[in-house]
Amino acid sequence: MNLGFKQRVRHFTWTWFTMTMATGGVANVLYQTPYRFPGLYTLGVIVFLFNIFLFLFNITMICLRFHFYPSLFIASITHPTEVLFVPACIISTGTILLNITQYGTTPGKAGTWLVDTMFVVFWVYCAFAVILSSSIYLTIWSTQTFTIDQMTPVWIFPAYPLLIVGPFAGQLALHMLHPRAVDIIIGGWIFQGIGFMVSLMIYASYIYRLMTSKLPRETLRPGMFVSVGPSGFTIAGVVSMGHLLPDVVPADYMGNGYLFAQVSKICSLWVGLWLWGLALWFFIVSVGAHYSCVRDRKMTFAMTWYSYIFPNTALITATYAIAEALDSAPIRIFGCVLTVLLVIAWIAIFITMIRAVIVKDILWPQKQEDRDEGGWTSTEVRHMLSAARTPHPTSSTPYHDPMQRIAFGEDMSRKDSPSESEVDRKASDGGTHSEGSPVDLPDQSSDRFMRSRNLKPNDSVV
């Protein structure tokens, strides 16, 4: 069965912004690679500009989705899985701002106006990150009920906007005059601390879930790499900011600026080393968990595959920060090896994503994070179920059965028509659904609800 552009864009979920997160992360890694060669900077700029193009593409598509189907905006922020990826938009924004700081504020690349602009933008981003992160968690805690066996590291995801504040501050402070640089570093420590401490508490639930419920399903295991990010980004931010303090702290700061800066530098390095070990441990566990996936080939592409990229950019930049602080060549080489593997993985995943669109593994009904799951159905679907036995002869399509009309993409937000979601399942290759959701929920969709009660599509469920 073929669906038109409008019907496919309906399933353009917030998870598409993980693509721009990952691409911006690759540009960040290329900028910080210690062993340079001619053309590496240019390659990083190309990836950075390509990421801006992808971000504008995502913004356009998500706006079209909500323009064609206005009710889906509220549905997307109350869906048990898709709501977790709403922060991907602001994380992508933060990653682009980080890249602008790296590639734009370098001396000789732009005027001082850009540095002044980024100083203001930094504080605006911090405010948005705090508001969005807390709002998403409040929405989840107010509308969803999860058990520990449903837990995956993606629960950390709403804290990610805060986790890139530290690396952003470390890069921006390099180009600031002394008073502003100290303010940026202090702000970076505060907001990075919020993000990491929230993540640390969720880490405990994650370990408890692994101890009591084994590993997540194979198709959910890419999300395990999300656990690498909090430690990785915190290391990259804390070590870079601490390393910079002796150059920007005034002599009379807190009574003895020199002593303050040196003590802070040493403490940041030890904290970084401590967390670097934690990041490596989560990385090893996440890689090992994929043994059965590779052996049995049970994985179908989902946009969550970009979890292989973005969190690991944090590990690589953290490795470079540790290598710089210790002046260690072996650690630099280790980071460069990881960089090569990262770039190869990013290219492979991007190509696989294009193929998945063509073969209808994504942008297809019940194939992505907007599918009905765990007993959750949208308001449109509930309306359809209650009105299922009422024919609609005024419909613009020749299909009066609500389920048939849904499959052909009518806007079910109209008062005279039910919803599109239910028969999305019929359009998805005989009712199969994607296993790519990061929330490990059983499928209790409305379709199964009707079958369990021996109902037919036109029967009343009231």
pLDDT, tens digit, 9 for 90 and up, residues 162-188: 999 999 999 999 888 778 899 999 999
Only one residue has tokens 């356009």, namely 60
- From residue 25, give the alpha-carbon distance in Å to each of 95, 167, 246, 339, 354: 7, 11, 28, 11, 20
Do the beta carbons of residue 80 and residue 444 sit within 8 Å? no
Tokens representing residue 82 in the block? 């898709």
Q: Which of 237, 232, 93 is nearest to 153 (CA)?
A: 232
Among 263, 257, 220, 262, smallest CA distance to 441 is for: 220
- 378-415 pLDDT, tens digit each: 555 455 445 544 555 454 444 444 444 444 444 444 44
Tens of pLDDT, residue by residue over 46-88, are 999 999 999 999 999 999 999 999 999 988 888 878 888 888 9
The pair of three-digit structure tokens given for residue 254, joined into one six-digit string: 């807190």
The b-or-e profile of 21-36 (16+ CB within 10 A means b, else e) is bbbbbbbbbbbbbeee
Asked whether the whole model's pTM tops 0.85, one would answer no
Domains of the chain as residue ranges with CATH: 5-358 (1.50.10.150), 372-462 (no CATH)
Per-residue pLDDT of the chain (462 residues; tens, 9 = 90+): 788 889 899 999 999 999 999 999 999 999 999 999 999 999 999 999 999 999 999 999 999 999 999 999 988 888 878 888 888 999 999 999 999 999 988 776 677 888 889 999 999 999 999 999 999 899 888 887 778 877 878 888 899 999 999 999 999 998 887 788 999 999 999 999 999 999 999 988 889 988 988 888 887 888 899 999 999 999 999 999 999 999 999 888 888 889 999 999 999 999 999 999 999 999 999 999 988 888 877 778 889 899 999 999 999 999 999 999 999 999 999 999 999 999 999 999 999 999 999 998 888 887 777 677 655 555 554 554 455 445 554 544 444 444 444 444 444 444 444 444 444 444 444 444 444 445 554 444 444 444 444 444 444 333
Task: Find residue 373's DSSP bridge partners.
Answer: 376
